[in-house]
Structures are given as structure tokens and as C-alpha cells.
Chain A
């Protein structure tokens, strides 16, 4: 079981690298933000896998925080501010 978990973790890191390619290339900020969002989801998956692997139940908390704050980051990216002429 632990071997399977670590193999899947490696698979997820590989998936992360593919997403990174899109962040680096992506012809536009939307593509980069999309890839960033998905990196967050993959990161959550990796952290949840590391939790039983390394016997650290706190990593599930880290995954929860990551999931919540990735949404905040995306909202910060897409928010529009009102114009103000100073």
C-alpha cells in the first residue's frame, strides 16, 4: 500500500510538471491562471497522499488551506477595481 501511494505521488508530481509547462508557455494570463488553479488541485492531491505516507495527519490541514487560498488567489487575479482619478 505505501508503495502504491508513493508511486501515485510521483505520478501526480509528473502531472504537476505538465501543468508547469502550461504556466510557463500559456499564451495569456488566463491560461497561466488556469494552470495555476490546477496546480493547486494537484498539490492538494499530493499533500493528501503524503499524509499517510509520512504519517503526518496535519498535512490534510495544509491541503485544506491550500484549496481555500487557491480560490482567493484566482479571485485576486480576476477582480476589477473601480477607476479613481487621483
Chain B
């Protein structure tokens, strides 16, 4: 392996990553910033691959380059015209300008301090020389963990507590999204070419998600990457106008989202009842337990990410659907003609029918 060429590769990758990050943040047009951010995610995935961290590269490729891009693009689009920051915002008074200047200087100083701290930490770590206490400890206990991929062993066995809390954070975010209001409007039905794309893309994404879940036990992969891939399938279904299919309906959605944390907790508590410590898997059952937990986690993560893309509470109640259809048919926007909803439904909130 030619180290000079690899050095050139690393240098070019580094330069483009940093300049992309700068350009994305400094961009005055928001859509441009989002697309630059997607490119940044792509380069970051390549950087992780170069650093021999395929698990993180998988997660970055799925979430950073793909799903975050879709999320941000749909968020940027929803901003009403006239509030875009590309035009000059009229400055109200001097106090506002001073406030903004103070804010900018504070942020600049904080970023400079953070960078200096990171630089100092990195240089002092270099002076210690390479030591592999942690990898050796992991390798020594890998047999008993139930999987042969050290990353999965750490995530789902040695530090399972942390993963449980991460899933709880995800569930909290989902609760926040549900509290935002109704979901964003459906996308227009797909044309012929897009239709042809999703016919093979969605099954392939689902298959790849299952593959990543299974292979995570002995090769890079795992629940997060699989969940993100599954979420991409749901997102692309919504993008093609399949408004109902991308996300399960009503109570099933809530069960799925809670199952990520729920199954984890259940396994831990059952193990405690059986006399072991919380989440202390017996080595004989460890791989099975990890697979069960990862499956539930994958479904929960996928549901939460598609919910984030939907941007609100899915309107899967029948009466709510007819109310939306009535709005759409009376609105003057272009769109396919919809049959009028049942007569007499108003657009008001009907609490007893849960149409809010």
C-alpha cells in the first residue's frame, strides 16, 4: 500500500470535508445549505470508511447522507415564502443589531474555545502513545458476549444500559413529534418513472434492512443501521404519494415505537427476576436475546424516523381523513380530484371523534 497516495487521498478528503462544512453553514440560501450538508454527510461516511469504522460509516451513509437530507429538505420546503433569510431582514432597531452581534461573538468564542480544547486533548493523547487496553478487554470477553462483532457486543451487551437510554431518548423525541400537530400534507402521486423506481427500491431496502440486522452479529451492521434503512423505505413510500402505507396506523404505531424500549426493559427485568443482574445475559442465551432486542429496536427506530419525516401526528382516523379530503377538494390548489367527504363534516375540532 503506497502511503504517499493514501496521504494524498486523506489530504484531499480532509480539505473537501472541512470546506463543505464551512460552505454549508455559511450558505445564505437554505436549500443550498441543505444540499451541501448532504454532500458533507457523504464525505463523512467516506472518512469513517477510511478510518476503518464500517459500522459508523453505514450509519452515516444511511442517516447522514440520506435521511437527514430528506428530513431537512422537507423542513426547508415547508417554510412559507417571505420568511426566507436570503432577502435582507429589516432591522427593527439598534438593540436587535447589538444583540445579534453579541450572539455572534459569543458563538465564535465558544467555537474557538471548543476547537482549542479538542486540539489540546488530541495532542496530549498523541503524547501517551498507542495503548489498547479497551480493545484487549473487549476481545477477551467477546466469546461470552454472544456475538462476534465487537461493536455490537459493546452496544448490546457490555454497554446495553447506554443503548437502552438512547432508545428512550428516541422515544421521547417521537412523543415530541406527535405533539407537533398534524402531519405534513401528502405528496402528489408518483409518475411512471418514480413508480418504477419504488417497485424495486422498497423491497430491496427492506431486504437490506433485514440483512443488516442479521449480519450485525458477526460483521458491521446492527439495529441502528437496519432501522435507518427501513425508515428510508417508509420515507420513499410517502414520497411516492402512498400516504398511508409508509407508517403503521393508530395503536400499532405507538406499540411499535414503545416496543424498542419496552422489549429491552422486559428482557432486563426478566433477567433480574431470574436471579441475574439487570441486562446480564447468560452466555448461552446472549445471541438470541441480542437478536430479539435488536429486532424490536430496528422497528422502533424505523417508525420514529418515518414519523419524523411525516412531521406530526399521522391522520389515520377515518373521520380525520374525510375532513382532510374535504379541505383538499375545496382548496384551490392543483391536485388530483378527490371524492367529497361525508356531508356535514366541518373542519372544526371534534374532540369526541378524535379528529383533532
Contacts and interface: CB of A to CB of B under 8 A. Distances in A.
A touching B, CB within 8 angstroms? yes
Interface of A: 2-3, 6-7, 9-10, 13-14, 16-17, 20, 23-24, 29, 32-33, 36, 39-40, 43, 46-47, 50, 53-54, 56-59, 61-62, 64-66, 68-73, 75-77, 79-85
B57 interface: yes
B185 interface: yes
11 contacts: A13-B16, A23-B36, A58-B55, A62-B45, A68-B204, A68-B229, A75-B239, A82-B188, A82-B328, A83-B328, A83-B333
B41 to A, nearest CB: 9
A53 B1 contact: yes
For the complex, would chain A's binding face be called helix, strand, loop or mixed by DSSP majority? helix
Contacts of A82: 185-188, 328, 333, 335
B39 interface: yes
B9 A70 contact: no
Contact of A13 (B12, B31, B70, B331): B12
Interface in B182-198: 184-188, 194, 197
For the complex, would chain B's binding face be called helix, strand, loop or mixed by DSSP majority? helix
Nearest to B338: A82
Given A17-B12, A72-B232, A76-B239, 17 more contacts: A16-B43, A32-B35, A43-B43, A53-B1, A56-B54, A58-B219, A58-B221, A61-B212, A62-B58, A65-B62, A68-B208, A68-B229, A71-B201, A72-B201, A73-B73, A76-B235, A82-B185
A69 B67 contact: yes
Contact of A54 (B42, B52, B331): B52
Given A23-B35, A68-B208, A81-B185, A62 B49 contact: yes
